Amino acid sequence: MTVITNVDEVTPEWLTDVLTISGALQSGAVESFEVDTGVRLLSTNARLKLAYAPGSQGDMPQKLFLKMVDIDQDDEFFGPSEVYYYIRDYMGVWDAPLIRHYDAAYSAEMGRYHVLMDDVSGTHIEAREKTPRLEYGLALADGLAAMHARWWGRDRLGDAPIPSPAAIRRFVSISEPGAGHILAAVGDQLKPHWPDAIRTLFKKHPQLIIDRTRNGSGFTLIHGDVNWNNVFVPIAGDRPIYIIDRQPFDWSLTTWLGVYDLAYAMILDWDIDIRRNFEQAVLRRYHEQLIAHGVSDYSWEQLFEDYRLMAAMIVYIPIEWCRGQFNPETMPAWMPMLQHAMTAFDDLDCAALWSD
């Protein structure tokens, strides 16, 4: 369980060991490798190009991606979630949309973790670089349903309980200050009814999601951040896709309604017309695939009501960008997300959730 904190710690011997243990190298050894380093927002990474000793046998991956993470992010921190994402949570789920990994280790004492996986940069790009097509939405539905079904319902969640009212209120409290900052600074740039809708949302919506936790059906282990930077799509074609970077903060809701992941992906990043055109088909496919993976206690009607409830919750995400203060520098990022979220809020008549 050695944690790699710097690419200088990588050796041919270490690579040989982890590839042999993972089954990717049946005999022989890594003879040498070349390094191409880079920095991602919340991690340092390196691309490794491997050369093997003559006579080596096995899958022998030629290019690997090493992600090295400092878990201390100022006033927040990461736990072992991303390591578990690869080595534990979806073992045996053959259709989970995960990149093949070869090694992962976490150390709370060191405040670090790493993941070694295939480098797919030659075949895949971030989803933001490609206009979503229906087939992409269906691939998302298939992949998320496969992962969600693995942990579906209160009984399967076991040691990952459905959040308590206190945990939910804490989650909401992280975002809520941003509403005041945004409305004070640029409320006049929103549609006329949106400021009051946002204020009412923070008053009424939290109790609704607390009430929803009384019924365990629909709850599962979620990714929580299926944004278009965290999904890799093929340069050519639509499949396979890969969902990466499950890095929840300590205040995140890691066990939640599964349909939240789809709401996050479709509402925040897709153009509004694309979301409107594909939304129903993607949700129907997700429901069908849950059933195909053995979920039997979740009706289409319940799924759609949960989607509306999660669409309202998605409003919290762009508002959280301004939780400390109004951030005009990042406004080009969060304002379109807020507009998308509030438009979906209107389209799905989310205000009726607490006015009925």
- What are the tens digits of pLDDT across the range 122-142? 999 999 999 999 999 999 999
The SS3 call for residue 334 is helix
CA 331 → CA 174, 208, 305, 315, distances in Å? 18, 29, 31, 15
Query: Which backbone phi and psi does 115 adopt, to 5 degrees?
Result: -135, 130
Placement of tokens 């990474």 in the chain? 45
Q: Does 42 score more than 70 pLDDT? A: no
pTM over 0.75: yes
Alpha-carbon dihedral angle through residues 192, 304, 131, 265, given to the nearest 10 degrees: 80
Which tokens in the block code for residue 231?
């999904």
CA 79 → CA 3, 5, 48, 69, 159, distances in Å? 14, 16, 26, 11, 15
- Please name the residues in contact with 273: beta carbons below 8 A apart, sequence gap of 6 or more: none
Cβ 87 vs Cβ 104: under 8 Å = yes
Q: Domain residues of the chain, as ranges?
A: 7-118, 126-355
Cβ 61 vs Cβ 18: under 8 Å = no
- Residue 27 pLDDT: 97
- Residue 111 pLDDT: 86
Which tokens in the block code for residue 303?
């799924």
Which tokens in the block code for residue 273?
């017309």
- Residue 75 pLDDT: 62
- Residue 40 pLDDT: 63
Cβ 227 vs Cβ 189: under 8 Å = no
Which tokens in the block code for residue 192?
């006329």
Dihedral sign (CA 225, 353, 169, 167):
negative
Q: Which H/E stretch holds residue 302?
A: helix 300-314
- Superfamily holding 126-355: Aminoglycoside phosphotransferase (APH), C-terminal lobe (3.90.1200.10)
Q: CA–CA separation, 189 vs 248, rounded Å?
A: 31
CB atoms within 10 A of CB 210: 17
Cβ 262 vs Cβ 286: under 8 Å = yes
Which tokens in the block code for residue 326?
């109004």
Placement of tokens 């509403």 in the chain? 179
Placement of tokens 């409830």 in the chain? 309
- Residue 161 pLDDT: 87
Dihedral sign (CA 124, 128, 129, 134):
positive
Query: Which of the listed CATH numbers 2.60.40, 3.90.1200, 1.20.1260, 3.30.200 matches domain 7-118?
Result: 3.30.200
Q: Does 325 score more than 70 pLDDT? A: yes
Q: Does 76 score more than 70 pLDDT? A: no
Mean pLDDT along residues 88-94:
94
In the 8-state DSSP scheme, what is residue 19? H
7-118 and 126-355: identical CATH topology: no
